[in-house]
């Protein structure tokens, strides 16, 4: 500790700048680990988990790494471990994005176990959000930044719309409302066709390849 001022002086920076430099290096390394694991998460979850756990040895308790570890623990038999990580993140993290993602995953775990009262209690801790950063960037900026934000938000909105139509169709079937179920199916099929026209490469991005293959099968004419 006594050498820190001398080191900062040698490099011609303040001690605050010296520590920030270390923090930025650590953040960059964490991001590198997360990206490497994300590329394997769908097809090779065991390898993705190993990469993140190795990263946690270097950065113990790192919120971002723990949050990404949750995505490799989605098997039912890992739910207790995942729930424990969720609770620790909810309690300790100062990153709202990590906290709300952990709440979402914890709610999904409770729902999968049929613990609906705990699921509802957890969901109540997640605030409603009526606008996003992407929407504001698309609306308030110009050029490529606005366009890319609009495309990203469009994709998220589309994913949500299709997912909700799938759920609405399922609930209509459960209640015996075949007419509404048919309407939801046709609407979803039309949306998918429209997106293929607007963003033809969208279905080739990562997990969407399999997801939308299943959606097209679900919403095809039967």
pLDDT interval class at 214 (50, 70, 90): confident
For the stretch 5-29, pLDDT in tens is: 777 677 776 766 666 656 778 888 9
Mean pLDDT value across residues 107-135 = 93
Class of domain 133-219: mainly alpha
| Token pair 């066709």: residue | 193
Higher-pLDDT residue of 54, 205 = 54
Q: What is the mean pLDDT of the segment spanning 137-157? A: 92
pLDDT at 39 over 80: yes
Which fold would CATH assign to domain 12-123? 1.25.40
In Å, what is the CA distance from 45 to each residue of 41, 55, 56, 69? 5, 15, 16, 10
Q: How far is CA 39 from the centre of its chain?
A: 14
Residue-range domain boundaries for the chain: 12-123, 133-219
Note the pLDDT tens digit of each residue in 93-117.
999 999 999 999 999 999 999 999 9
Please choose, from the candidates 101, 94, 95, 96, the residue with its C-alpha nearest in 3D space to the C-alpha of residue 69.
101
């Amino acid at each position: 500790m006594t050498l820190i001022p001398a080191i900062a002086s040698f490099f011609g920076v303040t001690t605050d700048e010296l520590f920030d430099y270390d923090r930025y290096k650590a953040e960059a390394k964490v991001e590198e680990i997360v990206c490497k694991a994300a590329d394997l998460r769908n097809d090779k979850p065991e390898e993705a988990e190993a990469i993140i756990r190795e990263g946690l040895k270097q950065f113990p308790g790192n919120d971002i790494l723990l949050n990404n570890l949750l995505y490799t623990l989605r098997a039912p038999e890992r739910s207790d471990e995942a729930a424990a990580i969720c609770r620790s993140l909810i309690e300790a993290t100062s990153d709202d994005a990590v906290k709300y993602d952990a709440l979402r995953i914890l709610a999904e775990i409770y729902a999968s176990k049929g613990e609906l009262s705990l699921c509802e209690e957890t969901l109540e801790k997640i605030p409603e959000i009526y606008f996003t950063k992407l929407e504001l960037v698309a609306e308030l900026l110009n050029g490529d930044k606005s366009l890319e934000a609009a495309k990203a938000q469009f994709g998220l909105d589309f994913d949500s719309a299709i997912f909700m139509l799938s759920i609405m169709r399922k609930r209509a079937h459960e209640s015996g409302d075949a007419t509404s179920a048919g309407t939801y199916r046709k609407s979803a099929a039309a949306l998918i066709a429209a997106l293929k026209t607007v963003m033809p490469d969208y279905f080739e991005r990562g997990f969407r390849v399999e997801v939308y293959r299943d959606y097209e099968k679900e919403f095809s004419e039967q």
